[in-house]
Each structure stands twice: as C-alpha cells, then as structure tokens.
Amino acid sequence: MRSVGEILKEERQRLGMNQDDFAAVAGLKRRAQTLYEQNERAPDALYLRALATIGVDVQYILTGEKAASAITKDEKELLSGYRSLDIRGKSNMLGMLDVMGAAATAPTVTTSTVTRHNIGSVQFHGEVGGVSNGDQHTAGDLNVRVVSKKKKKDIRE
C-alpha cells in the first residue's frame, strides 16, 4: 500500500500545484508540506479539510482508494456555474455537452439532434465545430452553411 506522503504528492501534482501553494491552502509553509510528503509528519484533520476545498481526494489520502465523487477544481467551477443558471441556461449547457460528446466520439461527418425540457431542438449536420454566442431567436427553421477549404490540423501532433 502506498504511503500517505506519496499520495499527497500525487494529488498535489494532479492539481498542478507546487508545494508552496499547496501548503498555503491550509495556511502552512512549504516545510510542513515537505515533511508530509516525506512521511516525517502526519497531516491533521484541519489540513485535510482545507485540501478538500480545492478538490483533493481526502478519502484517497487516508485509505489509498479513490473516491468516486472526487472532482477537480475545474469541475467544481463548472458545477458552480451550472447551478447558477436558470432552466434555459441549464438546457443549453446540457445540449452543448450532448453535441460535444457526440462530436468527440463520432466520425468527421455527424448528425446530432438535441432536445431538452421541451424548450426546442437543435440539429447539426456535417462537421460540427463552430461556436454561437448569445441568445438565438428564430420563428422557423434556420439554416446555416459554412464552407471551409482549409485542411484541419490534427491537434494530437
């Protein structure tokens, strides 16, 4: 079984933080963080509670088993933003996630229809990748055609 110090270091690195910033979350200095990561000192409950506020998996630190509910700082920010939306905003976000998820797993040419809470539906054909910002209002069908001759660059290169 991995030590508490090893797991603390792993969680710190997962969140992209250095020892100074990680320790500062709990009001400590870098030296305390170093002692924790080297297993020369055991973290207390107040320290772990402070780390939980930035998305550290405290269950993983204590038991060596990852919690199913652990979320990153970005995920926490997204969830907070989502919760602040009205029903229409939530519907739009869920629709966007459906389209983005389908685009990520589908071949280049895709068709995706999104319907949420009987507010309406959006259907995309072809290569989906554009962004529309702001309210969109239409009394009937709206057809948008965008043609690009540029070859798409593979971002994995």
State the Cα–Cα distance between residues 63 and 58, nearest whole angstrom: 9
Predicted confidence pLDDT, tens digits, the chain (157 residues) = 899 999 999 999 999 999 999 999 999 999 999 999 999 999 999 999 999 999 899 999 999 988 876 667 788 888 899 999 999 999 999 998 888 877 666 555 444 454 444 455 566 565 656 566 666 666 666 666 666 565 655 565 5
State the Cα–Cα distance between residues 1 and 65, nearest whole angstrom: 10
Q: Using a cut of 0.85, tell me whether the model's pTM lies above it.
A: no
Chain CA centroid to CA 85, Å: 17
Q: Please state which CATH class domain 4-74 belongs to.
A: mainly alpha
Domain with CATH 1.10.260.40 in the chain: 4-74
What is the per-residue DSSP string for 49-102? HHHHTTT--HHHHHHSS--TT---HHHHHHHHHHHTS-HHHHHHHHHHHHHHHH
Question: Bridge partners of 110?
Answer: 126
